[in-house]
A and B are shown apart, each in its own frame.
Chain A
Amino acid sequence: MKHTIAILVKDHPGVLARVSSLFNRRRFNIESIAAGHSEKKGITRITIVTEGDENILEQITKQLNKLVDVIRVRDLPREISVERELALIKVLTKSTDQRSEIMQLVQTFRGHIIDIDKQALTIEVTGTEEKINAKLKLLESFGILEISRTGKIALSRGAQRILN
């Protein structure tokens, strides 16, 4: 089963290495990892998507908590959280017709065109992992040149927060 885990860590050099080294060392899987500033200065928020049963999730949480640079670890089950991923997709455009076909498609699935060129279009898509996968599938037939995905980020629903 997939889990999304939010980890609040001290913004120290090497902290990502500590977290990823732990996953590697204990053979926990990292499907995606995203990191950036949190609402509090000096604290970074890492979101990791991982796969495993309840026991593995429990071990991941406990082992992460043992790292001194880790302040909080929270599992974010789908039912009680919102999640998004951003993808940039560069698509080959062989003709004007094809270009307008793609642009129409992008408009329908509420993506944005952020770069345009004679041979290519770059599209920005935001959504759940499934949504992005679906869009990629749609664009596949045109010829995808490059993809860059951020990995999932997530917050719990409502006024709850991890740090008090």
Chain B
Amino acid sequence: MILSGTEIVVECLKREKVKVVFGIPGGAIMPLYDTIDKKATFTHILTKHEQGAVHAADGYARATGNVGVCFATSGPGATNLVTGLANAYLDSIPIVAFTGQVISPLIGTDAFQEVDIVGITIPITKNNYLVMDVKNLASTIKEAFYLAKTGRPGPVLIDLPKDIQFAKTDFHYPEKDRYVGYRPTLKGNLNQIKKAAKALQEAKRPIIYAGGGIINSNATSELKELVKKTNIPVTTTLMGLGSFPEDQPLSLGMLGMHGLYCANSAISEADLIIALGTRFDDRVTGNTKQFCPKAKFIHVDIDPAEISKNIKTSIPIVGDVKYVLAKLSQLVEPKEETEWTDKIIKLKEKYPLQYQRDDQLRPQYIIEKLDKLTKGEAIIVTDVGQHQMWAAQYYQYRYPRSFISSGGLGTMGFGLPAAIGAQIGCPRKKVVCIAGDGGFQMNIQELATAIINKLPIITIIMNNGYLGMVRQWQELFFEKRYASTCLDGSPDFARLVEVYGGKGIKVVTKADFDSALGEALSSKQFILLDCIIPPEENVFPMVSPGEAINKMLGVNES
């Protein structure tokens, strides 16, 4: 079958079962768009900015577990993807991005809309390709999808010169999916798993520290199984929220800089830490020298480079956490509840999350109410900042892929486009986008995308008139000098949404919020609640930078 480059792209995406692509056309990718219009079996969602496209592909991938796909043109189209690719890279999210490129004879001449996007994205993609011969296109696309979704997932970029898009060749989709230089270890070394089982048996104060890897490898049932058999308490990272149901007595909730005190305190007391699909990020460990001084570590991760990178591990296991957990559960002897589990349960009771429960509409109240009304069944997509931490703390995550957030890169502007991707991926789920008034304005143009596609997303803006997290740090560590954090000049978001064709409600009191949320939950259209919250509300508890994680600010006994 003789096909053109663009027909090959369309055919390959069909073989990869791609249902939706997010993107924006431009000069160098026009041939591809022309073919999509004629032949594509997938839906194309036109975003308003390429950053919106890549974040939407990211949100889609996180919500569904499938590879997210986005298109952009050369030059500025391609560079607008950069933040989104870095975001997906740091959170290990599978994305394949296609960029148009100037015709191959012009590459290297600083032609119109030419940038070296392959060079630019080397450190923020799992791999990337400039296709210079149409004969290599099909195998490159196959390899790109395989790399994106296997091993430690991540973004892959394919740069397609315009002449290669037009060029024709005989089309074969390769069957093989083995590549020289790429062979992730899945099973985990059996001897190491046996050692882990033994350590688990002997431990008096074990804790499971679960990360995003559990969600990426769909290992939540394996984790539940292990906990059921061994009664080991579980704390999760931000990326790991939803990997273990937070309504379970042995769930300690999130740990780290804004984690729960009971989680930070318990892990600091532990004698054995079972780290699963996680990477000892500085937001989790605080001061690494004082991190869990009494513990030895079992570390299960599919990426060997994460083992002993930040914290020395005594029992490393390289493998897919799903396989490893299944094997570990099989090998380990059942353990009963002990003094340690009792202590954990008491710690949870003694140090719950606390905020001022008064008449004011406070962000914590908003999230609690949302949790109560949605019973943990919504997909919560956040932007980055204080609201993100409140959403992480006060919603009770019970299911994997129910919390979608920019963890590693901390990308403001992620929330709305990611919610678009999540809602398109999961049309029957209630998707709630929680954003601050700062970050929301970084990709506010995607309101048009959400509304034109009739996406029934509920957007909650926690409007405090500040770049709130920065303001909080200024309050705590810069003697309240609020340099450039006041967001004067923001629009009336409720009215703005109406202009785009959605529904907007300004919310000032708790009663306002209760009724607006009720309305939003039964609404089938895009609806935004602009919630005016106290301007100087802080996220607590908190670990100050450079501190040990069990030394937290803002902790009170109940």
Contacts and interface: CB of A to CB of B under 8 A. Distances in A.
A18 B181 contact: no
Interface in A1-19: 10, 13-14, 17-18
B123 A21 contact: yes
Nearest to B156: A68
Interface string A58-72: 110011011111110
A138 B397 CA distance: 72
Contacts of A63: 305
Contact of A68 (B118, B182, B309): B182
Nearest to B318: A62
Interface string B498-520: 00000000000000000000000
Nearest to A14: B118
B126 interface: yes
A18 B180 contact: no
Given A17-B119, A70-B181, A55 B126 contact: no
A21 B127 contact: no
B182 A55 contact: no
Contacts of A58: 308
Contact of A66 (B118, B303, B308): B303
A70 B180 CA distance: 9
B444 to A, nearest CB: 32
B122 A62 contact: no
Contacts of B304: 62, 65
A106 interface: no
Interface string A38-71: 0000000000000000010011001101111111
A59 B309 CA distance: 7
A22 interface: yes
A71 B118 contact: no
A118 interface: no
A25 interface: yes
Given A58-B308, A68-B127, A68-B147, A21 B180 contact: no
Given A14-B119, A17-B122, A21-B123, A68 B179 contact: yes
Nearest to B124: A25
Contacts of B303: 66
A147 B179 CA distance: 42
Contacts, number: 39
A68 B181 contact: yes
B123 A68 contact: no
Given A10-B180, A68-B182, A25 B123 contact: yes
A71 B180 contact: yes
Nearest to A55: B308
Interface string B104-136: 000000000000001100110011001000000
Q: Which of B182, B303, B308 has the most chain A CB atoms inside 10 A of its CB?
A: B182
Contact of A69 (B119, B123, B181): B181
A14 B120 CA distance: 12
A14 to B, nearest CB: 7
Contacts of B180: 10, 71
A66 B305 contact: yes
Interface in B138-193: 147, 179-182
Contacts of B122: 14, 17-18, 21
A58 B316 CA distance: 14
Interface in A126-140: none
Nearest to B154: A66
Contacts of B119: 14, 17
Interface in A53-99: 55, 58-59, 62-63, 65-71
Nearest to B304: A62
A63 B304 CA distance: 9
B253 to A, nearest CB: 32
Contacts of A17: 119, 122
A70 B181 CA distance: 6
B299 to A, nearest CB: 13
Contacts of A70: 181
Contacts of A18: 122
A36 B447 CA distance: 53
Interface string A120-154: 00000000000000000000000000000000000
B308 A68 contact: no
A25 B119 CA distance: 13
Q: Which of A63, A68, A71 has the most chain B CB atoms inside 10 A of its CB?
A: A68
Nearest to B147: A68
B160 to A, nearest CB: 16
Contacts of B126: 68
A25 B124 CA distance: 10
Contacts of B305: 59, 62-63, 65-66
B123 A22 contact: yes
B137 to A, nearest CB: 16
B149 to A, nearest CB: 14
Contacts of B147: 68
Contacts of A69: 127, 181
A64 B523 CA distance: 51
B101 to A, nearest CB: 14
Nearest to B307: A62
19 contacts: A10-B180, A14-B118, A14-B119, A14-B122, A14-B130, A17-B119, A17-B122, A21-B123, A55-B308, A58-B308, A62-B304, A62-B307, A65-B304, A68-B126, A68-B127, A68-B179, A69-B127, A71-B180, A71-B181
Interface of B: 118-119, 122-123, 126-127, 130, 147, 179-182, 303-305, 307-309
Given A17-B119, A67-B127, A68-B127, 13 more contacts: A14-B118, A14-B122, A18-B122, A59-B305, A62-B304, A65-B305, A66-B303, A66-B305, A68-B126, A68-B147, A68-B179, A69-B127, A71-B181
Interface of A: 10, 13-14, 17-18, 21-22, 25, 55, 58-59, 62-63, 65-71
Which 3 pairs, one residue from A and one from B, show the smallest C-beta to C-beta distance?
A62-B305, A68-B127, A71-B181
